Amino acid sequence: MSAIHVTTTINNDATEFLCAPDETLLDVLRDRLGLTGSKEGCGSGDCGACSVMLDGRLVCACLVLGAEAEGRTVATIEGMAVGETLHPLQRKFLEHAALQCGICTPGFLIAAKALLERHPDPTEEEARYWLAGNLCRCTGYDKIIRAVLDAAAEMREAG
């Protein structure tokens, strides 16, 4: 099994790596590139803790092969804040205490960002269904949903 050389863009950085043919993008991010913000909760696409954007689409990095990243763009939680400035979603998660243990938080933030890019004014129900693939066991989702809707409102006002 020989390694595959992949050239890709991660969080706007040109990146190269070698990976095994059956190695997932999640393993590459975490084990080869040190981007451990994406978490593995299940490895089967059922928990959303490894959510990343692949060419602008929300995906589970555990269900993408590293080799598939060739020539594509990947965005992870590590690229969400700009310098010292948190994304409004990140800020609202803090303000609303939308995390307890925090393990699901990166995945929720990536998924919520994808939601607000497509639906800047989601209803509570739309937000709940969009985020149904992200499991949280601590919060009961209440404060997460409030944070997402509040961030959406702030982002709409900011235009």
Residues 81-110 that bind another protein (CB under 8 A): 81, 86, 90, 93-97, 99-106, 109
- Between 8 and 76, name the residue whose CB sits nearer to another protein: 76
Nearest distance from C-beta of residue 153 to another protein, angstroms: 16
Binding mask 111-150 for another protein (x = CB under 8 A): x--xx--------xx-xxxxxxxxxxxxxxxxxxxx----
- Between 89 and 159, name the residue whose CB sits nearer to another protein: 89
Task: Enumerate residues 39-78 that contact another protein by CB under 8 A.
Answer: 39-49, 51, 54, 57-60, 62-65, 67-68, 70, 76-78
Helix (H) or strand (E) holding 152: helix 142-158
Q: Out of 13, 18, 21, 156, point to the residue binding another protein (CB under 8 A).
A: 21
Helix (H) or strand (E) holding 18: strand 13-19
Cα–Cα distance list, 154 to 47, 88, 99, 101, 109 (Å) = 28, 8, 20, 25, 16
Is residue 50 within 8 A of residue 62, CB to CB? The reply is: yes
- Between 125 and 157, name the residue whose CB sits nearer to another protein: 125
Q: How many residues does the chain have?
A: 159
Q: Does 32 bind another protein (CB under 8 A)?
A: no
What does DSSP assign to residue 101? S
Distance CA 74, CA 6 (A): 13
